[in-house]
Amino acid sequence: MRLKDKVAIITGAASGFGEGIARRFAEEGSRVVIADLNAESGARIAAEIGASAVSIRADVTSADDWKALIQEAVDGFGRLDIVVNNAGYTHVNQPMMDVPESEYDRCYAVNVKALYLSAMAAVPVFRAQGSGQFLNIASTAGVRPRPGLVWYNSSKSAAIGVTRSMAIELAAEGIRVNAINPVAGETPLLTKFMGEDTPEKRAAFRASVPIGRLSTPSDIANAALYLCSDEASMLTGVCLEVDGGRCI
């Protein structure tokens, strides 16, 4: 029960890494707000977790939706301790000059602007409590870029910079800010990362990971659990690669 009595908002929690984090946090005693554009899947996961979970449809690029998320957590569970910015977006793997402006804008809105909006909404609550934390799911793409993903890569570099910058500014107020940099994993974004889902492409991606496999929701959830637990109370500004050696 490493998160006993904690309350966490997890974005993009209707699938992939976010779903894994929501389930793991609930197992460890946290109450969770599952936020996702896919309301049906979010509601199903909340029902499977039980009374310690609620779901809400939310667009992380909307300031109004962030206000509603914070209100849901505070009204429903009495407080807010953790915000996991997991929701992410990528353009299809392709030459940088072929990516439409709308796809570039969406990448930066979901992967970067959402961090700003989460801070605007959650920091006042954390300040009033005297504690709180953000966990941003960035990517190894922000550390060791892959070809064909220029604008996605750069958005994740920005997310890493935001994490470190927020951490140093908020540390004295008891607010921790960390990130996880996962290597490519079995999530709904994988096909776009690869450009096409073929055995050859999957083999090439696996071959780029020294440990020999892609990441799983469980890998990311276990790292998230540690960083958001009191065991990591001395850690802020950490951007932890969960990557099987990819960034070495």
Whether the per-residue pLDDT at 54 is higher than 90: the answer is yes
Chain position carrying tokens 């509601």: 43
Residue 204: Cβ within 10 Å count = 11
Q: What is the pLDDT of residues 112-155, one digit of tens each?
A: 999 999 999 999 999 999 999 999 999 999 999 999 999 999 99
Whether the per-residue pLDDT at 197 is higher than 90: the answer is no
What is the Cα–Cα distance from 130 to 91, expressed in whole angstroms? 39
Domains belonging to the chain, first-starting first, are 7-241 (3.40.50.720)
Q: Detail the DSSP E strand segments found in the chain.
A: 7-11, 31-36, 53-57, 82-85, 132-137, 175-182, 239-242
Concerning whether 104 is annotated as a catalytic residue, the answer is no
As a whole number, mean pLDDT of residues 225-240 equals: 98
Q: Which candidate in 104, 108, 152, 226 is catalytic? A: 152
Q: What is the pLDDT of residues 159-176, one digit of tens each?
A: 999 999 999 999 999 999
Q: What is the pLDDT of residues 61-116, one digit of tens each?
A: 999 999 999 999 999 999 999 999 999 999 999 999 999 999 999 999 999 999 99
pLDDT number for residue 18: 98
Whether the per-residue pLDDT at 232 is higher than 90: the answer is yes
Whether the per-residue pLDDT at 12 is higher than 90: the answer is yes
Q: What is the pLDDT of residues 63-78, one digit of tens each?
A: 999 999 999 999 999 9
Whether the per-residue pLDDT at 189 is higher than 90: the answer is no
Q: Which one-letter amino acid corresponds to residue 219?
A: D
Percentage of the chain exceeding pLDDT 90: 92
What is the Cα–Cα distance from 189 to 186, expressed in whole angstroms? 8
Burial class (CB in 10 A: 0-12, 13-18, 19+), 244: buried
Tokens representing residue 194 in the block: 């690869």
More confident residue, 204 or 105: 105
Name which of 197, 102, 98, 210 is nearest 147 in CA terms.
98
Percentage of the chain exceeding pLDDT 70: 100
Residue 233: Cβ within 10 Å count = 11
Is the Cβ–Cβ distance between 60 and 114 less than 8 Å? yes
Q: What is the mean pLDDT of the chain?
A: 96
